[in-house]
Amino acid sequence: MISKINIAIIGASGYTGGELLRLLIHHPYIDNIQAISTRNTNKLISDIHRDLGGDTHLAFTEHINLDIVDCIFLCLPHGSSAMWLENNTIPHHIRIIDLSSDFRNSAFPLDKNEERSFIYGLPELYKSLYTPSTDIANPGCFATCIQLSLLPLRNSDISKDILDIHCTAITGSTGAGTLKSDTSHFSWRDNNTQVYKPFQHQHETEIHNHLFKQDFTPTFHFIPMRGSFTRGILACSYFTVKQHIQKDDLIHLYSSFYKDMPFIVHSKDSPDCKRAINTNKFFYHIEIINDKVIITATLDNLLKGASGQAIQNMNILFSFPEISGLSIKSSVY
């Protein structure tokens, strides 16, 4: 019999914290939930995440009770997760899943008294390496979408021939968190689109560290864009192949690589964002036109790109079925 665990969410009033609450309240293997918030201490969770009215009577607390927690989700801005771990001595038996970028690029010694080792939490790449004592550095949303788009190519016959990969990807406004900014203001974002950080988006470091290794070291050209929608990422990657390659062979390569991965879905048509929104799924489509291979993919930045993937990682760490709490319905209409 699987025993239930207790969890805590730090930064629980933000977008990713809210998504974790929505899913973990109904998760079959979660018992107690602590929702920690500095700005909303003592307020009801449903006063901030209004859609949770009727689902929970829990309130936000200021401090974590370490006696009743098995797993902590850090939903804090970049830099704040590392600081939170420096300021709080967390017993070694408690697992950490960090959604920020603080531990994504290496294993970090953290604490004065003990060391923690963070594994890059892209389950489709590394889940066989998870152990009951590893902590998780949850990947970035663009980084998840782009790596899942290209991962099967890494050990393929054509990997050495791929010299350049071009990728354009567009994200919704929730990708930037709840803090208001010029580019998240409705009047600017609505009916608007913009390129930002071309060739220098912060997720390129993750992609280079974890995807482009061994014989697969193409030059990567990434143009990120902001779109006038709330959630979702659509990424289109393409590259030239020297040798003739059949589309069916490439589809077979991908479906073999992803055969035991429950959230990875091959799409026969070019996928739209809406089919992935509110799910933990990653949809990909493969097209070959002349000598160009085009991989188009979509996911929900807040789920497979953040909180859904964090729960998938928790499920694996605690030996729950990988899809527990994540069989959720899209809002396609």
Ligand X SMILES: NC(=O)c1ccc[n+]([C@@H]2O[C@H](COP(=O)([O-])OP(=O)(O)OC[C@H]3O[C@@H](n4cnc5c(N)ncnc54)[C@H](OP(=O)(O)O)[C@@H]3O)[C@@H](O)[C@H]2O)c1
Could you tell me the two tokens for 12?
């629980």
Residue 178, interface with ligand X (CB under 6 A)?
A: yes
Distance CA 276, CA 274 (A): 5
Distances (CA, A) of 284 to 203, 246, 247, 251, 260: 20, 17, 13, 10, 16
Minimum CB–partner distance for residue 200 and ligand X (Å): 17
Out of 39, 180, 185, 266, point to the residue binding ligand X (CB under 6 A): 39
Q: Are 312 and 123 in contact (CB under 8 A)?
A: yes
Comparison of 73 and 254: residue with beta carbon closer to ligand X? 73
User: Considering only residues 8, 14, 90, 116, which one is a binding residue for ligand X as defined by CB under 6 A?
Assistant: 14
216, 215, 227, 133: which is closest to 176 by C-alpha?
227
Q: 148, 302, 314, 316: which one contacts ligand X (CB under 6 A)?
A: 302
The answer to whether 75 and 101 are in contact (CB under 8 A) is no
Shorter beta-carbon distance to ligand X: residue 26 or 78: 78
179 binds ligand X (CB under 6 A): yes
Per the annotation, the verdict on 75 as an active-site residue is no
As measured in angstroms, the least distance from the Cβ of 98 to ligand X is 8
Edge-to-edge strand list for the sheet holding 282-289? 194-195, 219-226, 164-171, 233-240, 292-299, 282-289, 264-266
List all residues 6 or more positions away from 251 whose beta carbon is below 8 Å from its beta carbon.
266, 286
Beta strands in 15-75 (DSSP E): 30-36, 71-74
**Residues 104-143: x/- map of binding to ligand X (CB under 6 A)?**
------------------------------------xx--
Of 141, 145, 167, 273, catalytic: 141
When binding is defined by CB under 6 A, the residue of 38, 89, 133, 255 that contacts ligand X is 38
Q: Could you tell me the CA-to-CA distances from 21 to 17, 36, 186, 214 in Å, in that order?
A: 6, 11, 26, 39
Tell me which stretch binds ligand X (CB under 6 A): 31-39, 117-125, 185-193, 221-229. Answer: 31-39
The pattern of x and - marking residues 138 through 177 that bind ligand X according to CB under 6 A reads: --xx--------------------------------xx-x
61-100: contacts with ligand X (CB under 6 A): 75-78, 80, 99-100
User: Measured between alpha carbons, how far is 9 from 18 in angstroms, rounded to an integer?
Assistant: 9
Q: Point out which residues bind ligand X (CB under 6 A).
A: 11-17, 37-40, 75-78, 80, 99-100, 140-141, 174-175, 177-179, 301-302, 305-306
